Structure 1
Amino acid sequence: MQRFRVWWNSFKTVVVLLSFALNMILVVVTLLLLMQIFAIKNGVLEPLVDGLHASFVGLDNAVIERSITVEDSIPVVFTLPVDTTTNVVLTEDVPIVANASFTLPGGGGVINGRVDLVLPTDLVLPVQLSIEVPVNADVPINLDVPVNIPLNETELHAPFVHLRDLLEPYVRVLDHLPDGWSDTPDFVIDVLQGNGVDLVAPTYDSEHPWPPPDQARTTETTGADTAPLSLDLTTSSDAIPVQVAGPTATFTPYPAFTPAS
Protein backbone atom coordinates (compact mmCIF):
# COMPACT_ATOMS: atom_id res chain seq x y z
CA MET A 1 0.00 0.00 0.00
CA GLN A 2 2.85 2.33 0.86
CA ARG A 3 4.42 1.68 -2.53
CA PHE A 4 1.14 2.56 -4.29
CA ARG A 5 0.96 5.88 -2.45
CA VAL A 6 4.52 6.70 -3.42
CA TRP A 7 3.81 5.80 -7.02
CA TRP A 8 0.56 7.82 -7.00
CA ASN A 9 2.26 10.89 -5.55
CA SER A 10 5.00 10.65 -8.18
CA PHE A 11 2.39 10.29 -10.91
CA LYS A 12 0.49 13.36 -9.69
CA THR A 13 3.72 15.34 -9.61
CA VAL A 14 4.55 14.39 -13.19
CA VAL A 15 1.02 15.21 -14.35
CA VAL A 16 1.09 18.61 -12.64
CA LEU A 17 4.47 19.46 -14.15
CA LEU A 18 3.35 18.30 -17.59
CA SER A 19 0.14 20.32 -17.33
CA PHE A 20 2.10 23.38 -16.21
CA ALA A 21 4.48 23.02 -19.15
CA LEU A 22 1.66 22.63 -21.64
CA ASN A 23 -0.14 25.64 -20.21
CA MET A 24 3.02 27.72 -20.42
CA ILE A 25 3.50 26.70 -24.05
CA LEU A 26 -0.13 27.56 -24.77
CA VAL A 27 0.26 30.97 -23.08
CA VAL A 28 3.43 31.73 -25.05
CA VAL A 29 1.81 30.71 -28.34
CA THR A 30 -1.26 32.80 -27.52
CA LEU A 31 0.90 35.83 -26.72
CA LEU A 32 2.83 35.42 -29.96
CA LEU A 33 -0.41 35.19 -31.90
CA LEU A 34 -1.78 38.27 -30.14
CA MET A 35 1.40 40.17 -30.97
CA GLN A 36 1.03 39.22 -34.64
CA ILE A 37 -2.76 39.38 -34.83
CA PHE A 38 -2.87 42.66 -36.77
CA ALA A 39 -0.03 41.60 -39.05
CA ILE A 40 -2.00 38.44 -39.86
CA LYS A 41 -5.20 40.45 -40.38
CA ASN A 42 -3.65 43.18 -42.54
CA GLY A 43 -1.11 41.02 -44.36
CA VAL A 44 -2.90 37.68 -44.80
CA LEU A 45 -6.62 37.56 -44.04
CA GLU A 46 -7.75 40.90 -45.45
CA PRO A 47 -5.79 40.69 -48.73
CA LEU A 48 -6.92 37.08 -49.21
CA VAL A 49 -10.63 37.68 -48.53
CA ASP A 50 -10.74 41.04 -50.33
CA GLY A 51 -8.81 39.60 -53.27
CA LEU A 52 -11.15 36.63 -53.65
CA HIS A 53 -14.21 38.87 -53.29
CA ALA A 54 -12.92 41.37 -55.86
CA SER A 55 -11.85 38.60 -58.24
CA PHE A 56 -15.31 37.05 -58.31
CA VAL A 57 -16.86 40.48 -58.93
CA GLY A 58 -14.33 41.12 -61.69
CA LEU A 59 -15.05 37.74 -63.28
CA ASP A 60 -18.77 38.52 -63.27
CA ASN A 61 -18.07 41.87 -64.97
CA ALA A 62 -15.60 40.41 -67.46
CA VAL A 63 -16.30 40.26 -71.18
CA ILE A 64 -14.80 37.64 -73.48
CA GLU A 65 -13.60 39.41 -76.61
CA ARG A 66 -11.83 37.54 -79.35
CA SER A 67 -12.07 36.61 -83.02
CA ILE A 68 -12.90 33.04 -84.01
CA THR A 69 -11.82 31.73 -87.41
CA VAL A 70 -14.55 29.70 -89.12
CA GLU A 71 -13.48 27.30 -91.87
CA ASP A 72 -16.26 25.10 -93.21
CA SER A 73 -18.39 24.34 -96.23
CA ILE A 74 -22.14 24.67 -96.52
CA PRO A 75 -24.12 22.40 -98.86
CA VAL A 76 -26.43 24.44 -101.08
CA VAL A 77 -29.27 22.51 -102.76
CA PHE A 78 -32.21 24.30 -104.37
CA THR A 79 -33.92 25.04 -107.69
CA LEU A 80 -33.35 28.47 -109.17
CA PRO A 81 -36.20 29.73 -111.40
CA VAL A 82 -34.96 31.94 -114.25
CA ASP A 83 -37.40 34.11 -116.19
CA THR A 84 -35.67 36.94 -117.99
CA THR A 85 -34.74 38.46 -121.33
CA THR A 86 -31.13 38.25 -122.35
CA ASN A 87 -28.81 38.18 -125.33
CA VAL A 88 -27.06 35.05 -126.55
CA VAL A 89 -24.07 34.76 -128.86
CA LEU A 90 -23.86 31.96 -131.42
CA THR A 91 -20.70 29.92 -131.14
CA GLU A 92 -21.04 28.33 -134.58
CA ASP A 93 -23.03 28.71 -137.78
CA VAL A 94 -26.64 27.67 -137.42
CA PRO A 95 -28.44 26.54 -140.66
CA ILE A 96 -32.16 27.25 -140.81
CA VAL A 97 -34.48 25.52 -143.33
CA ALA A 98 -38.09 26.69 -143.42
CA ASN A 99 -41.09 26.55 -145.76
CA ALA A 100 -42.18 29.92 -147.04
CA SER A 101 -44.89 31.50 -149.21
CA PHE A 102 -44.07 34.45 -151.39
CA THR A 103 -46.85 36.71 -152.71
CA LEU A 104 -45.95 38.36 -155.97
CA PRO A 105 -46.95 42.00 -156.30
CA GLY A 106 -49.58 43.19 -158.81
CA GLY A 107 -51.64 40.05 -158.48
CA GLY A 108 -48.91 37.81 -159.75
CA GLY A 109 -50.00 34.99 -157.41
CA VAL A 110 -48.35 33.05 -154.59
CA ILE A 111 -45.24 30.95 -154.80
CA ASN A 112 -44.65 28.25 -152.22
CA GLY A 113 -41.07 27.27 -151.62
CA ARG A 114 -38.32 26.66 -149.09
CA VAL A 115 -35.87 29.10 -147.54
CA ASP A 116 -32.35 28.06 -146.51
CA LEU A 117 -30.62 30.46 -144.10
CA VAL A 118 -27.37 30.30 -142.13
CA LEU A 119 -27.01 32.28 -138.89
CA PRO A 120 -23.30 33.16 -138.65
CA THR A 121 -21.01 32.63 -135.69
CA ASP A 122 -20.91 35.48 -133.08
CA LEU A 123 -24.39 36.60 -134.03
CA VAL A 124 -26.12 38.19 -131.03
CA LEU A 125 -29.74 37.12 -130.60
CA PRO A 126 -32.17 38.47 -128.00
CA VAL A 127 -34.02 35.60 -126.32
CA GLN A 128 -36.55 35.10 -123.53
CA LEU A 129 -35.40 32.57 -120.89
CA SER A 130 -37.94 30.83 -118.67
CA ILE A 131 -36.28 27.80 -117.08
CA GLU A 132 -35.59 26.20 -113.68
CA VAL A 133 -31.92 25.65 -112.87
CA PRO A 134 -31.10 22.97 -110.25
CA VAL A 135 -28.31 24.01 -107.87
CA ASN A 136 -26.36 21.43 -105.85
CA ALA A 137 -22.98 22.60 -104.61
CA ASP A 138 -20.79 23.04 -101.49
CA VAL A 139 -19.96 26.66 -100.67
CA PRO A 140 -16.62 27.06 -98.78
CA ILE A 141 -16.58 29.49 -95.83
CA ASN A 142 -13.43 31.06 -94.38
CA LEU A 143 -13.99 34.12 -92.24
CA ASP A 144 -13.17 35.66 -88.84
CA VAL A 145 -16.18 36.05 -86.55
CA PRO A 146 -15.80 38.60 -83.69
CA VAL A 147 -17.12 37.28 -80.37
CA ASN A 148 -18.19 39.52 -77.49
CA ILE A 149 -19.66 37.56 -74.54
CA PRO A 150 -20.39 39.33 -71.21
CA LEU A 151 -20.06 36.68 -68.50
CA ASN A 152 -22.89 38.23 -66.46
CA GLU A 153 -25.22 37.27 -69.31
CA THR A 154 -24.21 33.61 -69.18
CA GLU A 155 -24.86 30.76 -66.74
CA LEU A 156 -21.68 31.74 -64.85
CA HIS A 157 -23.42 34.84 -63.47
CA ALA A 158 -25.29 32.94 -60.74
CA PRO A 159 -22.25 31.15 -59.21
CA PHE A 160 -20.15 34.33 -59.33
CA VAL A 161 -22.86 36.27 -57.47
CA HIS A 162 -23.21 33.41 -54.98
CA LEU A 163 -19.47 33.41 -54.24
CA ARG A 164 -19.48 37.18 -53.87
CA ASP A 165 -22.36 37.03 -51.38
CA LEU A 166 -20.54 34.34 -49.38
CA LEU A 167 -17.39 36.44 -49.00
CA GLU A 168 -18.95 39.88 -48.59
CA PRO A 169 -19.79 39.53 -44.82
CA TYR A 170 -16.15 38.63 -44.10
CA VAL A 171 -14.99 41.65 -46.10
CA ARG A 172 -17.24 43.92 -44.04
CA VAL A 173 -16.14 42.43 -40.69
CA LEU A 174 -12.44 42.75 -41.55
CA ASP A 175 -12.96 46.36 -42.71
CA HIS A 176 -14.66 47.31 -39.41
CA LEU A 177 -12.08 45.64 -37.15
CA PRO A 178 -9.16 47.84 -35.99
CA ASP A 179 -5.97 47.79 -38.08
CA GLY A 180 -3.52 48.18 -35.18
CA TRP A 181 -3.11 48.37 -31.42
CA SER A 182 -3.55 52.15 -31.50
CA ASP A 183 -7.11 51.74 -32.84
CA THR A 184 -8.06 48.95 -30.43
CA PRO A 185 -8.92 51.03 -27.30
CA ASP A 186 -11.37 53.26 -29.20
CA PHE A 187 -12.93 50.20 -30.83
CA VAL A 188 -13.36 48.42 -27.47
CA ILE A 189 -14.83 51.54 -25.86
CA ASP A 190 -17.32 51.95 -28.70
CA VAL A 191 -18.36 48.31 -28.33
CA LEU A 192 -18.75 48.52 -24.55
CA GLN A 193 -20.70 51.78 -24.73
CA GLY A 194 -22.97 50.41 -27.44
CA ASN A 195 -22.23 53.15 -29.93
CA GLY A 196 -23.65 51.21 -32.84
CA VAL A 197 -20.63 49.17 -33.95
CA ASP A 198 -22.15 47.10 -36.76
CA LEU A 199 -19.50 44.70 -38.06
CA VAL A 200 -21.61 43.68 -41.06
CA ALA A 201 -22.53 47.18 -42.18
CA PRO A 202 -21.63 47.95 -45.82
CA THR A 203 -18.19 49.44 -46.42
CA TYR A 204 -16.59 51.09 -49.40
CA ASP A 205 -14.53 48.01 -50.24
CA SER A 206 -17.58 45.75 -50.07
CA GLU A 207 -19.65 48.07 -52.27
CA HIS A 208 -16.86 48.89 -54.76
CA PRO A 209 -14.63 45.80 -54.90
CA TRP A 210 -13.70 46.09 -58.58
CA PRO A 211 -11.32 47.35 -59.81
CA PRO A 212 -9.02 46.76 -56.81
CA PRO A 213 -7.68 49.86 -55.05
CA ASP A 214 -4.18 49.49 -56.53
CA GLN A 215 -5.54 49.26 -60.07
CA ALA A 216 -7.93 52.16 -59.48
CA ARG A 217 -5.10 54.36 -58.19
CA THR A 218 -2.98 53.43 -61.21
CA THR A 219 -5.82 54.40 -63.54
CA GLU A 220 -6.35 57.71 -61.78
CA THR A 221 -2.65 58.53 -61.90
CA THR A 222 -2.38 57.58 -65.57
CA GLY A 223 -5.43 59.65 -66.48
CA ALA A 224 -4.32 62.73 -64.58
CA ASP A 225 -2.95 65.84 -66.24
CA THR A 226 0.81 65.30 -66.32
CA ALA A 227 1.81 68.64 -67.80
CA PRO A 228 5.28 69.65 -66.56
CA LEU A 229 5.32 72.31 -63.87
CA SER A 230 7.98 75.01 -63.98
CA LEU A 231 9.25 76.43 -60.69
CA ASP A 232 11.71 79.25 -60.08
CA LEU A 233 13.66 79.02 -56.83
CA THR A 234 14.89 82.62 -56.67
CA THR A 235 17.86 83.73 -54.63
CA SER A 236 19.53 87.09 -54.52
CA SER A 237 21.72 86.30 -57.50
CA ASP A 238 20.45 83.45 -59.70
CA ALA A 239 17.16 81.81 -60.68
CA ILE A 240 17.20 78.01 -60.74
CA PRO A 241 14.60 76.59 -63.18
CA VAL A 242 13.17 73.26 -62.05
CA GLN A 243 10.98 70.95 -64.16
CA VAL A 244 8.62 68.76 -62.12
CA ALA A 245 6.53 66.12 -63.92
CA GLY A 246 3.18 65.48 -62.31
CA PRO A 247 -0.39 66.74 -61.98
CA THR A 248 -0.94 70.45 -62.49
CA ALA A 249 -0.79 72.35 -59.20
CA THR A 250 -0.88 75.97 -58.01
CA PHE A 251 2.00 77.31 -55.91
CA THR A 252 2.08 80.54 -53.94
CA PRO A 253 5.51 82.21 -54.41
CA TYR A 254 7.40 83.30 -51.34
CA PRO A 255 9.42 86.52 -51.20
CA ALA A 256 12.92 86.34 -52.55
CA PHE A 257 15.35 84.86 -50.08
CA THR A 258 18.43 86.98 -49.32
CA PRO A 259 21.30 85.01 -47.81
CA ALA A 260 23.07 86.51 -44.85
CA SER A 261 26.38 88.16 -45.67
Structure 2
Amino acid sequence: MEPEITNPSQPPAPLRQMIRLNRLLPPFWTITGILSLIVNVILIAVMIGLGSQLFTLKRILSDQLIEGLYQNFVRMDEAHIRTTIPVRDQKVRANFTLHIKTPTTVTLAEDTLLANAQVLRLNTGGLTIYNAPADIVLKAGTDLPIFLDLEVPVDQEIPVNLDVVVDIPLRETDLHEPFTGLQEVVLPYRELLKQTPNSWSEALCGTPPLPLCLWLFGE
Protein backbone atom coordinates (compact mmCIF):
# COMPACT_ATOMS: atom_id res chain seq x y z
CA MET A 1 0.00 0.00 0.00
CA GLU A 2 1.50 3.30 -1.13
CA PRO A 3 1.39 6.28 1.26
CA GLU A 4 -0.70 9.39 0.27
CA ILE A 5 1.44 12.13 -1.17
CA THR A 6 0.46 15.70 -0.15
CA ASN A 7 1.76 19.02 -1.43
CA PRO A 8 3.33 20.79 1.55
CA SER A 9 2.85 24.21 -0.19
CA GLN A 10 -0.97 23.93 -0.20
CA PRO A 11 -3.04 24.36 3.01
CA PRO A 12 -5.44 21.67 4.08
CA ALA A 13 -8.91 21.53 2.48
CA PRO A 14 -10.85 22.99 5.50
CA LEU A 15 -8.42 25.88 5.65
CA ARG A 16 -8.81 26.52 1.94
CA GLN A 17 -12.60 26.66 2.32
CA MET A 18 -12.28 29.15 5.19
CA ILE A 19 -9.93 31.34 3.16
CA ARG A 20 -12.35 31.26 0.23
CA LEU A 21 -15.25 32.18 2.55
CA ASN A 22 -13.30 35.07 4.05
CA ARG A 23 -12.65 36.39 0.55
CA LEU A 24 -16.38 36.26 -0.29
CA LEU A 25 -17.65 37.89 2.92
CA PRO A 26 -16.51 41.51 2.27
CA PRO A 27 -18.19 41.71 -1.17
CA PHE A 28 -21.28 40.03 0.29
CA TRP A 29 -21.57 42.51 3.15
CA THR A 30 -20.92 45.39 0.78
CA ILE A 31 -23.67 44.27 -1.60
CA THR A 32 -26.02 43.61 1.35
CA GLY A 33 -25.35 47.06 2.79
CA ILE A 34 -25.96 48.75 -0.55
CA LEU A 35 -29.23 46.83 -1.03
CA SER A 36 -30.30 47.66 2.53
CA LEU A 37 -29.53 51.33 1.97
CA ILE A 38 -31.48 51.35 -1.30
CA VAL A 39 -34.45 49.62 0.37
CA ASN A 40 -34.38 52.09 3.28
CA VAL A 41 -34.25 55.06 0.92
CA ILE A 42 -37.20 53.65 -1.03
CA LEU A 43 -39.15 53.03 2.19
CA ILE A 44 -38.41 56.54 3.46
CA ALA A 45 -39.54 58.04 0.15
CA VAL A 46 -42.71 55.94 0.24
CA MET A 47 -43.39 56.97 3.85
CA ILE A 48 -42.87 60.64 3.02
CA GLY A 49 -45.19 60.35 0.03
CA LEU A 50 -47.81 58.49 2.04
CA GLY A 51 -47.36 60.94 4.90
CA SER A 52 -48.18 63.92 2.70
CA GLN A 53 -51.24 62.08 1.43
CA LEU A 54 -52.23 61.26 5.00
CA PHE A 55 -52.00 64.93 5.96
CA THR A 56 -54.14 65.82 2.95
CA LEU A 57 -56.65 63.14 3.91
CA LYS A 58 -56.60 64.40 7.49
CA ARG A 59 -57.38 67.96 6.35
CA ILE A 60 -60.24 66.70 4.19
CA LEU A 61 -61.69 64.65 7.04
CA SER A 62 -61.19 67.37 9.64
CA ASP A 63 -62.08 70.55 7.74
CA GLN A 64 -64.72 69.29 5.34
CA LEU A 65 -66.31 66.13 6.69
CA ILE A 66 -66.16 66.17 10.49
CA GLU A 67 -66.15 69.96 10.95
CA GLY A 68 -68.83 70.33 8.29
CA LEU A 69 -71.06 67.77 9.98
CA TYR A 70 -70.58 69.33 13.41
CA GLN A 71 -71.26 72.91 12.27
CA ASN A 72 -74.34 71.84 10.31
CA PHE A 73 -75.73 69.98 13.32
CA VAL A 74 -75.22 73.15 15.38
CA ARG A 75 -76.98 75.27 12.72
CA MET A 76 -79.85 72.78 12.52
CA ASP A 77 -80.38 73.06 16.29
CA GLU A 78 -80.32 76.88 16.05
CA ALA A 79 -82.60 76.99 13.00
CA HIS A 80 -86.18 78.28 12.91
CA ILE A 81 -89.11 77.10 10.82
CA ARG A 82 -90.46 80.36 9.40
CA THR A 83 -93.37 80.39 6.99
CA THR A 84 -96.77 81.93 6.36
CA ILE A 85 -99.76 79.62 6.19
CA PRO A 86 -102.66 81.09 4.20
CA VAL A 87 -106.08 80.17 5.57
CA ARG A 88 -108.76 80.81 2.96
CA ASP A 89 -112.50 80.16 2.70
CA GLN A 90 -112.73 78.41 6.03
CA LYS A 91 -115.57 78.58 8.54
CA VAL A 92 -115.39 78.29 12.30
CA ARG A 93 -118.54 77.63 14.30
CA ALA A 94 -118.86 79.83 17.37
CA ASN A 95 -121.09 78.28 20.01
CA PHE A 96 -120.86 79.93 23.41
CA THR A 97 -122.65 82.26 25.81
CA LEU A 98 -121.42 85.84 25.96
CA HIS A 99 -121.80 87.32 29.45
CA ILE A 100 -122.12 91.12 29.35
CA LYS A 101 -121.82 92.91 32.66
CA THR A 102 -120.84 96.57 32.34
CA PRO A 103 -122.12 100.13 32.89
CA THR A 104 -123.21 101.93 29.74
CA THR A 105 -125.41 104.75 28.43
CA VAL A 106 -128.46 104.31 26.21
CA THR A 107 -130.33 106.96 24.20
CA LEU A 108 -134.11 106.87 23.91
CA ALA A 109 -135.26 106.56 20.31
CA GLU A 110 -138.75 107.94 21.07
CA ASP A 111 -140.77 109.54 23.83
CA THR A 112 -141.16 107.06 26.66
CA LEU A 113 -143.90 107.05 29.31
CA LEU A 114 -143.02 106.00 32.82
CA ALA A 115 -146.41 105.31 34.45
CA ASN A 116 -146.76 105.56 38.23
CA ALA A 117 -143.10 106.41 38.71
CA GLN A 118 -141.93 107.24 42.22
CA VAL A 119 -140.64 110.81 42.31
CA LEU A 120 -138.17 111.37 45.14
CA ARG A 121 -138.19 115.16 44.82
CA LEU A 122 -139.89 117.54 42.42
CA ASN A 123 -139.44 121.31 42.44
CA THR A 124 -142.22 123.27 40.65
CA GLY A 125 -141.93 126.97 41.29
CA GLY A 126 -142.31 127.47 45.01
CA LEU A 127 -143.66 123.93 45.53
CA THR A 128 -141.50 120.95 46.37
CA ILE A 129 -142.93 117.42 46.30
CA TYR A 130 -141.22 114.46 47.99
CA ASN A 131 -141.82 110.75 47.42
CA ALA A 132 -144.92 111.14 45.28
CA PRO A 133 -146.14 108.85 42.47
CA ALA A 134 -146.35 110.47 39.03
CA ASP A 135 -146.54 109.68 35.33
CA ILE A 136 -143.36 110.89 33.61
CA VAL A 137 -142.69 111.20 29.88
CA LEU A 138 -139.02 111.02 28.85
CA LYS A 139 -138.39 112.79 25.58
CA ALA A 140 -136.67 111.07 22.64
CA GLY A 141 -132.88 111.55 22.65
CA THR A 142 -132.61 111.43 26.43
CA ASP A 143 -129.43 109.66 27.59
CA LEU A 144 -129.98 107.16 30.38
CA PRO A 145 -126.97 105.70 32.30
CA ILE A 146 -127.70 102.05 33.00
CA PHE A 147 -125.82 98.95 34.20
CA LEU A 148 -126.01 96.18 31.63
CA ASP A 149 -126.07 92.62 32.98
CA LEU A 150 -127.17 89.93 30.55
CA GLU A 151 -126.12 86.70 28.85
CA VAL A 152 -126.13 86.55 25.06
CA PRO A 153 -126.14 83.06 23.47
CA VAL A 154 -123.93 82.89 20.36
CA ASP A 155 -124.25 80.11 17.79
CA GLN A 156 -123.11 80.92 14.28
CA GLU A 157 -120.43 80.21 11.68
CA ILE A 158 -117.66 82.77 11.31
CA PRO A 159 -115.86 83.01 7.93
CA VAL A 160 -112.07 82.89 8.27
CA ASN A 161 -109.63 84.40 5.76
CA LEU A 162 -106.22 85.20 7.21
CA ASP A 163 -102.47 84.57 6.97
CA VAL A 164 -100.92 82.73 9.91
CA VAL A 165 -97.25 83.62 10.48
CA VAL A 166 -95.30 80.65 11.89
CA ASP A 167 -91.90 80.93 13.62
CA ILE A 168 -90.86 77.72 15.39
CA PRO A 169 -87.34 77.50 16.93
CA LEU A 170 -86.20 73.89 16.53
CA ARG A 171 -84.30 73.89 19.83
CA GLU A 172 -87.67 74.29 21.58
CA THR A 173 -89.08 71.20 19.86
CA ASP A 174 -88.45 67.47 20.19
CA LEU A 175 -85.74 67.79 17.51
CA HIS A 176 -83.40 69.52 19.97
CA GLU A 177 -82.36 66.26 21.66
CA PRO A 178 -81.39 64.34 18.48
CA PHE A 179 -79.51 67.39 17.12
CA THR A 180 -77.45 67.73 20.31
CA GLY A 181 -76.93 63.96 20.31
CA LEU A 182 -75.47 64.11 16.80
CA GLN A 183 -73.14 66.92 17.92
CA GLU A 184 -71.91 64.77 20.82
CA VAL A 185 -71.29 61.84 18.46
CA VAL A 186 -69.11 63.92 16.11
CA LEU A 187 -67.39 66.04 18.80
CA PRO A 188 -64.77 63.43 19.97
CA TYR A 189 -63.56 62.86 16.39
CA ARG A 190 -63.47 66.62 15.82
CA GLU A 191 -61.31 67.18 18.90
CA LEU A 192 -59.06 64.21 18.07
CA LEU A 193 -58.36 65.46 14.54
CA LYS A 194 -57.63 68.95 15.88
CA GLN A 195 -54.85 67.48 18.04
CA THR A 196 -53.13 65.70 15.14
CA PRO A 197 -50.41 67.54 13.11
CA ASN A 198 -51.14 69.04 9.72
CA SER A 199 -47.63 68.62 8.24
CA TRP A 200 -44.28 66.92 8.75
CA SER A 201 -42.92 70.08 10.38
CA GLU A 202 -45.68 70.00 13.01
CA ALA A 203 -45.24 66.25 13.48
CA LEU A 204 -41.46 66.47 14.01
CA CYS A 205 -41.05 69.99 15.40
CA GLY A 206 -44.19 70.27 17.48
CA THR A 207 -46.38 73.30 18.01
CA PRO A 208 -45.10 75.97 18.15
CA PRO A 209 -42.04 74.80 16.16
CA LEU A 210 -38.50 76.00 16.79
CA PRO A 211 -36.99 78.39 14.19
CA LEU A 212 -34.18 75.93 13.43
CA CYS A 213 -36.67 73.17 12.72
CA LEU A 214 -38.65 75.45 10.42
CA TRP A 215 -35.42 76.32 8.60
CA LEU A 216 -34.62 72.65 8.09
CA PHE A 217 -38.05 72.07 6.55
CA GLY A 218 -37.81 75.22 4.45
CA GLU A 219 -40.79 76.94 6.06
Q: TM-score range by the shorter chain?
A: 0.3 to 0.5
TM-score, normalised to structure 1, is 0.40
TM (norm. structure 2) is 0.47
Which protein is bigger by CA-based radius of gyration? Answer: 2
> Bigger relative contact order, structure 1 or 2, given CA contacts below 8 A and separation 6+?
2
